[in-house]
Structure 1
Amino acid sequence: MALMATRTKLPRLLSSGSRSPLSGRLGAMRSSTAAAPVESRPVGLGMLGLKDYEDYRRSLYGEITHKALLVDAAGTLLVPSQPMAQIYRTIGEKYGVKFSEDEILNRYRRAYSQPWGRSRLRYVNDGRPFWQYIVSYSTGCSDTQYFEELYNYYTTDKAWHLCDPDAEKIFKALRKAGVKLGVVSNFDTRLRPLLRALNCDNWFDAMAVSAEVEAEKPNPTIFLKACDLLGVKPEDAVHVGDDRRNDIWGARDAGCDAWLWGSDVHSFKEVAQRIGVRI
């Protein structure tokens, strides 16, 4: 995200232990034989297997497995073009910043992991108060001009680039196949102008931004808002993101399916193929 959040990856969980967003509906697929599971026990992905699960979803929607694709922004759709600490130091040198990049990174992580006031929301409106605290703590510099230069830099196409160069072609194919597209992101109000600067804002049918929705992942509220904006039920959507806690656990708590970027899927072409859209 802007001014850049560095997230610590958690150990990957076994898929058989993951919560299935369709566990209630999958329960209807139980066998009627004498060896059938206890009636009140839902059937999860661990019992069905991935292929059976995808076949089941296609039986609901035809050739596709989901009616909507939700995508995380920073770390999935977009990645920073230079390391955060490098930018903080490079821009900060003319404002007297003396810390090394390692020092800046360590201080940034420490500041970012602390509770932000009495609110659970870091990004309120443009997020300036939060980011002023982060920048000042990370660099030891509270110069207003320094902060504004750094803040504005992260709204430009110089600061970010698309993670997958084939994203536009794939998203067009998904929309042509009838799959609705949405962004679900913990970000301040700079996300929309940033996506415009990268010429990708028109790829999506809706955006649920934490600063606008007033809920941050993993709070399921932000995922439910995205589904509402797209006009789909949560169980009809799959979310793709790079953070297990925020993206996977949060989406599943909302009732959505979820795939971990860089683990379950590695490109948007792979995402499309799993949904059932050939590129």
Structure 2
Amino acid sequence: MPAVLFDFSGTLFRVESTESWLRAVLDAAGVVLDPPELAATARALEEAGALPGGAPPVRVPDELAGVWQSRDRSAELHRAAFTGMSRRVLLPDPALHEALYERHMTPAAWSPYPDAPEVLRTLHERGVKVGVVSNIGWDLRPVFREHGLDGYVDAYVLSYEHGVQKPDPRLFETACGRLGADPREVVMVGDDRRADGGAAALGCAVHFVDHLPVAQRPDALRAVLDLVGGPA
């Protein structure tokens, strides 16, 4: 029986926009910025790559290069990397940098792609084992639970829990082992050709989707149902 591994961010779920992320934190803190300043600050945060799961940084400063390269290997490195990027942008209160990081870990910050529930449910109904393999620095299981998708996932293999990040084949090997699946019968689905493509070293098939806003990618995951056989 085949199995499917999915990446999280940009594959099954998409994080909110940088402006929505910033606005939610400012509202919670009772801080008001006029619309032009809000928009400008959001653009600066986006250029800095401060939102995990959002746009990559335009430039990684030398003092953050090391932690950025290994950011997904531990919770501490992940927080240091992204709050370090955030602090490149002036905010009304320095405490907001930590608040922004906390916000991105909440289920409210994430939306599943429109076809994700259908695809996960169909795979589950067919008896196909499903794993989530993510480069991440925090526990994403509550996101799946909040959106009613946790029951369709058989294993989570998260980089920070193993000290290993994609494309290292060991992370995919761990996932295949958790599912009791032969890697040659596994499809890895992701949006990052380098990171997710690491599964090919084990003999897994790899299928890529585009990391687009939710409204722009309504049905890209449905191709997975054809890849593992059975009625779509």
Q: TM-score range by the shorter chain?
A: 0.7 to 0.9
| Counterpart AA for 2:47 | N
Question: Is the 8 Å Cα contact of residues 244 and 260 (structure 1) preserved in structure 2?
Answer: yes
SS in 2 for 1:258: strand
Question: Which residue, 161, 164, 172 being the options, matches 1:215?
Answer: 164
Deviation at 1:240, TM superposition (A): 0.5
Within a 5 Å distance, the mapping from 1:143-222 to structure 2 comes to: 143=93, 145-163=95-113, 165-222=114-171
Q: Which has the larger radius of gyration?
A: 1
- Alpha-carbon displacement from aligned partner over 1:204-223 (angstroms, at most 9, x marks no partner): 00011111121111111111
Task: Note if 1:128 corresponds to 2:111.
Answer: no
Cross-structure match for 1:229: 178
Please list the CA deviations of residues 214-241 of structure 1 after superposition, one character each: whole Å capped at 9, or x if unmatched: 1111111111111111111211211010
For the residues of structure 2 that align with 1:112 and 1:275, how far apart are their CA atoms?
43
Separation of aligned partners in 1, 2:25 and 2:123: 40
Q: Specify whether residues 199 and 214 from structure 1 end up closer, same or farther in structure 2 by C-alpha distance, changes over 3 A only.
A: same
Aligned residues: 209
Distance 2:184 2:158 in 1: 20
Superposition TM-score, scaled by structure 2 size: 0.76
Question: Which residue does 1:270 correspond to in 2?
Answer: 223
Rounded Cα–Cα distance in structure 2 between residues aligned with 1:173 and 1:257: 20
- Cα offset, 1:120, TM superposition: 2.8
8 Å contact 2:21–2:109 — kept in the other structure?
no
How far the C-alpha of 1:92 sits from its partner, in A, is 5.4
Q: Distance in 2 between matches of 1:103 and 1:72?
A: 27
CA contact (8 A) 1:156 1:197 kept: no
- Structure 1 residue ranges, 4+ long, deviating more than 4 angstroms after superposition: 95-99, 141-144
The CA deviation at 1:197 is 2.3
2:108 and 2:158 mapped to 1: Cα distance? Answer: 22
Tell me by how many angstroms 1:116 deviates.
2.8
- Aligned pair in 2 of structure 1 residues 92, 111: CA closer, same or farther (>3 Å)? farther
Report what 1:106 is aligned to. Answer: 47
SS at structure 1 position matched to 2:188: strand
Structure richer in helix, relative to its length: 2
- Give the match's secondary structure for 1:158: helix
Structure 2, unmatched stretches of 5+, are 50-56, 212-216
Q: Is 1:72 aligned with 2:13?
A: no
- Residue 245 of structure 1 corresponds to 194
Quote the Cα distance in structure 2 between the aligned partners of 1:188 and 1:195.
16
User: Aligned pair in 2 of structure 1 residues 194, 222: CA closer, same or farther (>3 Å)?
Assistant: same
TM-score (norm 1): 0.65
Q: Using the alignment, how far apart are the partners of 1:211 and 1:95 within structure 2? A: 35
**Residue identity opposite 2:8 in structure 1:** A
Cα distance 1:122–1:92, how it changes in 2: closer, same or farther (>3 A)? farther
Q: Contact between 2:209 and 2:221, CA under 8 Å: does it hold in 1?
A: no
Question: For 1:256 and 1:89, how far apart are their aligned partners in 2?
Answer: 41
